Amino acid sequence: MKRIDLRSDTVTRPDDAMRRAMASAEVGDDVYGEDPTVAELEVRAAEAMGMEAAVFVPSGTMGNQIAMQLHTRRGDEILCDSLSHIANYEMGALAALSGVQPRLLESKNGLLQPTVVRDAVVSDVPYQSRTTALVVENTHNLGGGSVYPLAQLAELVELAEECSLKIHLDGARIFNAAVALDCPVAVLTRGFDSVSFCLSKGLGAPVGSLLCGSAEMMVEARRVRKMLGGGMRQVGILAAAGLLALRDGPSRLAEDHRNAAFLAEELGAMEGIVVDEVEIRTNIVLCRLQAADAGRFAGALAERGVLAIPLLGGRFRFVTHRDVSRSDVQTAVDVVREVLREVSAG
């Protein structure tokens, strides 16, 4: 039985070209700044993001957390939406590593409204912690792959400037947003102090993310990365795969988006499933079962080779990526329909 893994775009495996590039990569000790392949990746990444410099990190979590360490002091408060990755899926690192507390804001599908942000900023109250940073997630994972409209993004950037907040973009899937809006990535990073993005998701690399920002900030970022145990040595082996992911990955994300739209449409037409509405569809589909138990349902799907992630409250996440074709998605749809029928038959 073929496994159709729709749990996440992190499950993509390096293809033959990546494996060849990894095998022949020129390498050196990157803690000494001597790995030419890493250096090239960092230049390309900074260029793509429209930032001065970049630092290669093992994970998106480390990229986000280094940024928070640099943008805050202990006891500060940061603003993020209540569904954000940085507050929900990073092991309490904001508190554990930087000693800051997140203020979790209401949002629509993870997308922050500037007025809600403005009302939450505390600057000069002698008995309240200072708000020093704002984190924006684009595309938004638990928001169903939602994408910020350009105007809303620009307003948040402007607001951060006005309120003297550092503004960080958790752009794990920023290329998905750029493809969905049909604009260069650098347009979506404009005005941000820092950006992190993942090579290891839809772009297809096995490991790695980049933190990007000013040259000055990236010098400090390297120090914090080492402190966190993220100083890697002959890591050009991974950067070689990352270079291909960065060069070739973005252009095929549109296919993932079409597959997700197809999946959303098919699931939405089924009795017993409600699909989350998002304005612009990228590669994530969230849905809710009306009756059946999500855990058992996921188990029944898995028995037939279709993997999805059950979330809280009877919800599911399906993610399309380069290792699932349209016909795989069609098969997954057929399996979901079959399992639903069985469940409703008792």
The footprint of ligand PLP (CB under 6 A) covers 59-61, 64, 85, 137, 141, 170, 172, 198, 209
In which region does residue 321 sit, left (phi positive, over 0), alpha (psi from -120 to 50) or beta (all else)? beta
Residue nearest to ligand PLP (CB): 60
Given a contact cutoff of 8 angstroms between Cβ atoms, the answer to whether 287 and 154 are in contact is no
Residue 85 CB, nearest approach to ligand PLP (Å): 3
Nearer to ligand PLP, 45 or 300 (CB): 45
Nearer to ligand PLP, 132 or 141 (CB): 141
Residue 165 CB, nearest approach to ligand PLP (Å): 19
Residue 22 CB, nearest approach to ligand PLP (Å): 19
Residue 50 CB, nearest approach to ligand PLP (Å): 20
Nearer to ligand PLP, 48 or 198 (CB): 198
Nearer to ligand PLP, 239 or 289 (CB): 239
Residue 206 CB, nearest approach to ligand PLP (Å): 12
Alpha helices in the chain (DSSP H): 16-23, 36-49, 60-71, 85-88, 93, 114-120, 150-162, 174-181, 185-189, 215-227, 236-248, 253-268, 294-303, 326-344
Nearer to ligand PLP, 185 or 273 (CB): 185
Distance, in Å, from the CA atom of 172 to the CA atom of 163, rounded to the nearest integer, reads: 25
In which region does residue 119 sit, left (phi positive, over 0), alpha (psi from -120 to 50) or beta (all else)? alpha
